[in-house]
Structure 1
Amino acid sequence: MILVGHSDGGVAVAMDLASELLGINQYDIVKNVDRPNCIISDRYSATHFFENEYDFNENIALPVQFGVHHSNVKYLLYHFFKNKHGVSQSRYVDVIHPQTYFGPSSEQAGGILIEPMALVSSMCQLGFGITIKRSASVGHHAVLGDFVNINPGAVLSGFVNIGEGTEIGTGVSVSNNVTIGKRCLIGAGSVVTRDIPDGVIAYGNPCKVIRENERWKGIELEPDFK
């Protein structure tokens, strides 16, 4: 498997899930920034590459996943490797733990990673490159945009809409029919009872807008992501 980008946590989780679900124990970790290599378990064989050293066409048969979880980093990595190396959405595989409930009437766009004990209820629409972490719950008819990151124990009620690139913190509760905008960060433990606009950090009980989400500052956005 090819992992694009890397953080210690993102790579470790992706490797364990892919090994358990797909029987994969050998990984090519391809990075596009100069940073220290990841800590790798002795269970796996892994080689780190800079992107200009790696031939994606030569390794066309290998499935691809992200080696990171943060929404803004996944966004940057996806567009970098698509534009420079032609790595399209179709090459990214789903890694969904079997102890997840995924409603048969729900749909997803690919490249998602779901950890154990998560729940995706009925009639949900999940975008590309989403991460749903352990014990998180996504209610019926929810819509999650591309690159959304749902952290452990978060609970999204029915008819919730989460915009592209938004991160939902650990233990957050989102009430029915709430819309959270694009590129937001909702702080851990928040209770969201009202809509949240695009591009902000918000937290608290009740959840309130605090300031602009600077994680996305300076990132050139594709037209469909603005």
Structure 2
Amino acid sequence: MHLLGFAPDIFNVLLELAEDAFGFQSFCVLENVNRVSDAYFVPLDRYNVKFKSFYTQDHKINPREYFAFGVVGTKSKEIVYKYFKEKIGMTDTNFLNLIHPTAVLSNSATLGSGIQIGSHTSVNALSQIGFGVNIKNNCYIGHHGKMGDFVTINPGVTLSGLVEIGNNTIIGAGAIIRDKVKIGSNCTIGMGSNVVTDIPDDSIAYGNPCKVHGKNT
């Protein structure tokens, strides 16, 4: 198995999600990164991510070609995926879902691949989660929710029933999304926001109640 786009200092963050951490063969380091802290890296240019060579780990080698995301930011995640898809011809089915053992998932929920779900998170009945989604700790995903690809749900977020979220959208920590609300693609919702009305594509929105304050370019 391989980790894609991971800076070495945050390697263990992804492994913590995995019930079985061995089997990772290598990981790749982002070249153009900004060190926010010792455990957090962000690409300087999310649309032009470059990579250094793979680093081999001492974990048990698994001959099957499976991959896991370890990328900060939804735009970066999509670029990383496209880069490796073209480089080695992988498909969505090559990506692992890393789900913390304390997370609770309904049997009727539908999950794509390349998904990370953190500790003490609930995913309720008939929810649909797309490719490359990262749902962090202590989140509640209500029934019949729909998430597009490369969505990031930060810690402590509550999504009521029938909420829809488009591709490449980030929901800030502690936000509450009212039932039946639709949030478009490429949006950023500020932390602690109370979202009670629909949010259009490409929006930066925050507040209580949550309102659009600009374009997410």
Shared fold (TM-score greater than 0.5)? Answer: yes
Q: Note the alpha carbon deviations across 1:3-26, whole angstroms, 9 max, x for none.
A: 1112578533212222xx013175
- In the alignment, the residues of structure 2 paired with residue 146 and residue 36 of structure 1 have an alpha-carbon distance, to the nearest angstrom, of 25
- In the alignment, the residues of structure 2 paired with residue 185 and residue 149 of structure 1 have an alpha-carbon distance, to the nearest angstrom, of 10
1:192/1:86 CA distance change after superposition, 3 Å:
same
Gaps of 5+ in 2: 40-50, 57-61
- Contact residue 118 and residue 133 of structure 1 kept, 8 A: yes
Aligned to 1:68: 71
- Contact residue 11 and residue 68 of structure 1 kept, 8 A: no
- Contact residue 187 and residue 202 of structure 1 kept, 8 A: yes
1:188 and 2:191 aligned? yes
Number of residue pairs matched? 200
1:85 and 2:88 aligned? yes
- In the alignment, the residues of structure 2 paired with residue 50 and residue 129 of structure 1 have an alpha-carbon distance, to the nearest angstrom, of 22
1:31 to 29, 32, 36: 29
Deviates more, 1:3-12 or 1:200-209: 3-12
Report the secondary structure of 2:77's partner residue: helix
- In the alignment, the residues of structure 2 paired with residue 27 and residue 176 of structure 1 have an alpha-carbon distance, to the nearest angstrom, of 42
- In the alignment, the residues of structure 2 paired with residue 8 and residue 52 of structure 1 have an alpha-carbon distance, to the nearest angstrom, of 11
1:142/1:50 CA distance change after superposition, 3 Å:
same
Aligned to 1:44: none
Aligned to 1:50: 52
Q: Report the TM-score, using the length of structure 1 for normalisation.
A: 0.80
Which structure features the higher share of helix residues?
1
Report the secondary structure of 2:3's partner residue: strand
Q: Note the alpha carbon deviations across 1:25-67, whole angstroms, 9 max, x for none.
A: 7551213534489968xxxxxxxx725899xxxx862421111
Amino acid of the structure 1 residue aligned with 2:121: A
Aligned to 1:12: 12
Aligned to 2:59: none
Runs of 4 or more, structure 1, over 6 Å off, are 36-40
Gaps of 5+ in 1: 41-48, 215-226
- In the alignment, the residues of structure 2 paired with residue 95 and residue 53 of structure 1 have an alpha-carbon distance, to the nearest angstrom, of 21
Amino acid of the structure 2 residue aligned with 1:170: A
- Contact residue 7 and residue 30 of structure 2 kept, 8 A: no
Aligned sequence identity (%): 38
Which structure features the higher share of strand residues?
2
Deviates more, 1:78-87 or 1:31-40: 31-40
Q: Note the alpha carbon deviations across 1:123-155, whole angstroms, 9 max, x for none.
A: 001101111100011000000001111000000
Aligned to 2:115: 112
Amino acid of the structure 2 residue aligned with 1:204: G
1:213/1:104 CA distance change after superposition, 3 Å:
same
Deviates more, 1:90-99 or 1:59-68: 59-68
1:60/1:87 CA distance change after superposition, 3 Å:
farther
- Contact residue 169 and residue 187 of structure 2 kept, 8 A: yes
- In the alignment, the residues of structure 1 paired with residue 202 and residue 10 of structure 2 have an alpha-carbon distance, to the nearest angstrom, of 24
